[in-house]
Amino acid sequence: MRMYAFAAALALIACQAPPVAQDASAQAPAATSQGQAVAAQAPSRGPDVIFVPTPHETVAAMLKLGEVKKGDVLYDLGSGDGRIPIAAAKQFGVKGVGIDIDPQRIKEANENAKEAGVTNLVTFRQEDLFQADFREATVVTLYLLPSLNEKLRPRLLEQLKPGTRIVSHAFPMGDWQPEKTVEMENGSQIYLWRVPAKVSTD
Ligand SMILES: C[S@@+](CC[C@H](N)C(=O)[O-])C[C@H]1O[C@@H](n2cnc3c(N)ncnc32)[C@H](O)[C@@H]1O
């Protein structure tokens, strides 16, 4: 609950200032003034939440919680500097895809992938995550906001195969109860969901 109050306060600040890159690992991300807009993909559309990186030890815990293993395809929706797909590629040799709407983040992520020597495994796409095709994912990671997770949920359930793991840093997904929740010593909270089998309504 403390996290929500903090995120809400940051959201107010962000509404008055343009999104900024920052390395404040302990902070929660904040909604931008475009927080409610779900426009078709367009270069002029701004991010729904500012860039705040997940601490590296939390990234490692997210990959563990998501049971990432050889053969997986990991998508980070709102990939920032690319640290999650890059860590997955480095640690497990898996294919990673990062999607971010901000061209500056895509540039940084590509530079970081190059530095990490994993450009053969990771790809970064400048897209709106609400328009993106992430069907091939077997693991999806998120560090967005509660409202964005909730808005994304129908797309996750529509696109992802049964059994796909979804791991969120800091924020739940409406009334979809997580299979597991981990509270880390660094204060991070991470959640795991597994896409259920599709049930026919005919
Ligand atoms: C809190 S950061 C998380 C970065 C990274 N996933 C991590 O955990 O370190 C959220 C990222 O989502 C991106 N973002 C916000 N709205 C987006 C949208 N509609 N489509 C794609 N990316 C978006 C922002 O540019 C930012 O880089």
Site to probe by mutation for ligand 1, drawn from 57, 99, 101 as the one with most ligand atoms within 8 Å of Cβ, is 101
Best of 32, 41, 49, 57 for a ligand 1 pocket test (most atoms within 8 Å of beta carbon): 49
What stretches in the chain show pLDDT beneath 50? 1-26, 33-43
Ligand 1 mean position, distance from CA 179 (Å): 24
Q: What is the pLDDT of residue 179?
A: 98
Q: What is the model's pTM?
A: 0.85
Which amino acid is located at 49 in the chain?
V
Cβ atoms within 10 Å of 175's Cβ, excluding its own: 7
pLDDT at position 32, please?
A: 57
Distance 202 CA to ligand 1 centre (A): 37
Ligand 1 centroid – CA 129 distance (Å)? 9
pLDDT at 30: 63
Gap between the Cα atoms of 53 and 32, Å rounded: 16
pLDDT of residue 23: 34
Pocket of ligand 1 (CB under 6 A): 29, 47-49, 51-54, 76, 78-80, 83-84, 99-102, 105, 128-130, 143, 169
The pLDDT, as a whole number, for residue 31 is: 62
Residue 28 confidence (pLDDT): 62
**Residue-wise burial string across 4-43, b where 16 or more C-beta atoms lie within 10 A, e elsewhere:** eeebeebbeebeeeebeeeeeeeebbbbbebbeeeeeeee
Predicted confidence at residue 199, as pLDDT, reads 77
100-123: pLDDT as tens digits: 999 999 999 999 999 999 999 999
Angle between helices 83-92 and 56-65 (to 10 degrees): 60
Predicted local confidence at residue 153, as pLDDT: 98
Please spell the DSSP secondary structure of 91-156, one letter per residue.
HH--EEEEEES-HHHHHHHHHHHHHHT-TTTEEEEE--TTT---TT-SEEEE-S-HHHHHHHHHHH
Name the strand (E) or helix (H) holding 190.
Answer: strand 189-194
State the Cα–Cα distance between residues 19 and 13, nearest whole angstrom. 10
What is d(CA 66, CA 165) in angstroms, rounded to the nearest whole number? 6
For residue 49, the ligand 1 atom closest to its alpha carbon is 15
Nearest CA to ligand 1 atom 23: 78
What's the chain's Rg over C-alpha atoms? 16
Count CB atoms within 10 A of the CB of residue 111.
Answer: 12
